[in-house]
A = this chain, B = another copy of it.
């Protein structure tokens, strides 16, 4: 029987700045370009969370939607309208690139969902770029 997955779309708005303390001012400017702006900038992030498995034979669903929504929303609330670098401890020593944010989302959501259900996460940073983790990415 073919496998089926369910994806829900969430969103949050946040500020951040791409800057590495290990790099010189000039290197930071060159590598991160306008994303290195001293006072930060921001995005409306969109998050597609995919769970996979065998639908429950009685309900026909992979996971009760309120359970999925609650788990994801409770976590995303900690980032909503925040400055990622200054307010999310994970980014104290990591640059808040999309690559690192999507890994952070994976780590946190995987803990909050039933074991083995989380299958893929896509993080849209703007309408023109996104980051994937899971599956074969």
| B-facing residues in A20-79 (Cβ within 8 Å) | 20, 22-23, 31-35, 37, 39-44, 50, 52, 55, 58-62, 64-66
Chain B hits for A9, CB < 8 A: 127-129
Give Cα A135 to B137, complex, Å: 9
Distance in angstroms between the alpha carbons of A3 and B132 in the assembled complex: 8
The dominant DSSP class at the A interface is mixed
| Chain B: minimal CB distance from A106 (Å) | 6
| Complex partner residue of A64 from B5, B31, B50, B86, CB under 8 angstroms | B31
Q: How many copies does the complex hold?
A: 6
Flag whether A94 is at the interface (Cβ < 8 A): yes
Contact status A39-B87, CB under 8 Å: yes
Chain B residues with CB under 8 A of A130: 6-7
Additional A-B contact list (8), CB under 8 Å, known A6-B131, A13-B42, A18-B60: A2-B106, A2-B134, A6-B129, A11-B126, A39-B86, A41-B83, A60-B99, A119-B137
Chain A contact residues, CB within 8 Å of chain B: 2-9, 11, 13-16, 18, 20, 22-23, 31-35, 37, 39-44, 50, 52, 55, 58-62, 64-66, 80-83, 86-87, 94-100, 102-103, 106, 119, 126-137
